[in-house]
């Protein structure tokens, strides 16, 4: 058994190459090899979002607070509230973030590939792409 206490789980700013706006990443759990699953809490300020990206084995997001905006390439953006989850398939290009007027917190779970990479980052979501998403409530 390995226990990690709350004071050991340090939040760090999200790298600007991966995010638009203020985002913090807080690792929650990571399996040592041969396991490859990791989980993190990700906090987004209003309007903050990821860049387009993919995961070699997909990703699961669970919305804990606020409202999320998620979109897959070629699809419509979807708004999700607390208690909702979304699963992206392996290799599915997507982005996710907070709504323009409120912060959002989600739990992200993904698995790394044989090279230890869990996320392949791509271009930033433009302001036009973000604004085109519906503000449905």
For residue range 64-93, what is the model confidence (pLDDT) as tens digits?
999 999 999 999 999 999 999 999 999 999
pLDDT of amino acid 137: 40
Q: Please tell me whether residue 8 adopts helix, strand or coil conformation.
A: helix
CA 37, 76, 85, 22 torsion-angle sign:
positive
Could you tell me whether strands 85-88 and 59-66 are parallel, antiparallel, or unpaired per DSSP bridges? antiparallel
- pLDDT tens figures, 30-60: 998 899 999 999 999 999 999 999 999 999 9
Average pLDDT of span 97-126: 97
Which domains does the chain show, CATH number per domain?
26-130 (2.60.120.10)
pLDDT tier for residue 135 given thresholds of 50, 70 and 90: low
pLDDT for the residue 7: 82
């Amino acid at each position: 058994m390995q226990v990690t206490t709350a004071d050991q789980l340090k939040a760090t700013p999200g790298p600007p190459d991966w995010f638009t706006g203020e985002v913090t990443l807080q690792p929650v759990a990571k399996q040592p090899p041969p396991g490859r699953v990791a989980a993190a809490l990700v906090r987004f300020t209003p309007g903050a979002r990821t860049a387009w990206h993919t995961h070699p084995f997909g990703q699961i997001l669970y919305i804990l607070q606020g409202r999320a905006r998620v979109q897959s390439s070629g699809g419509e953006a979807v708004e999700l509230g607390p208690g909702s989850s979304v699963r992206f398939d392996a290799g599915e290009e997507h982005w996710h973030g907070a709504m323009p007027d409120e912060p959002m917190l989600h739990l992200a779970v993904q698995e790394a590939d044989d090279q230890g990479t869990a996320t392949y980052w791509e271009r930033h979501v433009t302001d036009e792409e973000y604004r085109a998403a519906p503000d449905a409530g």
